[in-house]
Amino acid sequence: MRIIFLMLPVTVLLLLAGSCTAEQPAAPAASQPEFKPTATVKDIMDSIVDPNADLIWESVASTVSDKGIEDKMPKTDEEWAQVRRYAIALMESANLLLVPGRQIAKPGDKAEDSNIELEPEEIQAIVDNDRATWMERALVLHDNTLVALKAIEAKDAQALLFSGDGIDQACEGCHIKYWYPKDSEAVRLYEERMKEAAEAK
Ligand code: HEC
């Protein structure tokens, strides 16, 4: 009888040890990366952000020529649906910029004009040191594109035209901080523009 009492704690311990090892296979799954950021920030700019922003900006315009003032804007349902696709792509590209582990550029990539542009590794260091500011600038792109999306869904060409300025401000607000902060003219123009926007409110 005595021997059974002694054995009991040992059995409990073995069971506990067994349950620990049984849980282990779950651990590697938990450390799997949530995202697979293959393209760089530069790639996303070139493939998604820039082309879609251009298509939105080009969808509404007033052109003055010898034929008079020509207003270009989406007219048919299909044209509105098309510009909506550009806005969705641009708005969601802001989230792609926030994927953890996304690199600014490929290793060895160099700035085109080092007089005004930072090198990709300098940009990377600034982003890594202060992700909150990077996130904030990317979300301005999201929110200012949402203004365009709402204009599109309301089929309001005038509001869509105005929203283009907000999208451009989002590009500049990020670029003068990370890409070409040494371009003092670009920085000055951006600050002036923000001041005017604040005064207009
Ligand atoms: C959250 C920050 C951020 C926002 C917002 C942003 N960009 Fe960029 N963009 C960058 C950075 C950083 C680079 C520099 C990458 C590099 O060349 O090393 C860049 C580079 C670029 C390039 C050069 C790409 C190349 O192939 O060299 C273009 C074009 C561009 N951006 C367009 C835009 C446009 C248009 C918008 C707005 C619709 C925009 N970007 C919004 C951060 C941003």
Q: Which of 55, 174, 182 to mutate to test the pocket of ligand 1 (most atoms within 8 A of CB)?
A: 174
Looking at per-residue confidence, does 63 or 112 come out higher?
112
Yes or no: say if 167 and 159 are a contact pair by the CB < 8 Å rule.
no
CA distances to 38, 101, 114, 132, 157 from 28, rounded to whole Å, are 21, 19, 43, 29, 52
pLDDT at 12: 47
Taking residues 28-49, report their average pLDDT: 89
Burial class (CB in 10 A: 0-12, 13-18, 19+), 133: middle
Residue nearest to ligand 1 atom 41, measured at CA? 171
Query: Average pLDDT, whole number, for the chain?
Result: 89
Residue 6: other Cβ atoms inside 10 A: 8
Residue nearest to ligand 1 atom 13, measured at CA? 179
Q: Is pLDDT of 26 > 80? A: no
pLDDT digits (tens, 9 = 90+) for 76-98: 999 999 999 999 999 999 999 99
pLDDT digits (tens, 9 = 90+) for 117-155: 999 999 999 999 999 999 999 999 999 999 999 999 999
In single-letter form, the type of residue at position 62 comes to: S
pLDDT at 1: 47
Tokens of 107: 């290793």
Burial class (CB in 10 A: 0-12, 13-18, 19+), 53: buried
pLDDT digits (tens, 9 = 90+) for 1-22: 455 555 555 444 444 454 545 5
Q: Is pLDDT of 23 > 60? A: no
Yes or no: say if 177 and 133 are a contact pair by the CB < 8 Å rule.
yes
Pocket of ligand 1 (CB under 6 A): 41-42, 45-46, 49-50, 53, 97, 104-105, 120, 123, 134, 137-138, 141, 167, 170-171, 174-175, 178-179
Burial class (CB in 10 A: 0-12, 13-18, 19+), 152: buried
Yes or no: say if 129 and 67 are a contact pair by the CB < 8 Å rule.
no
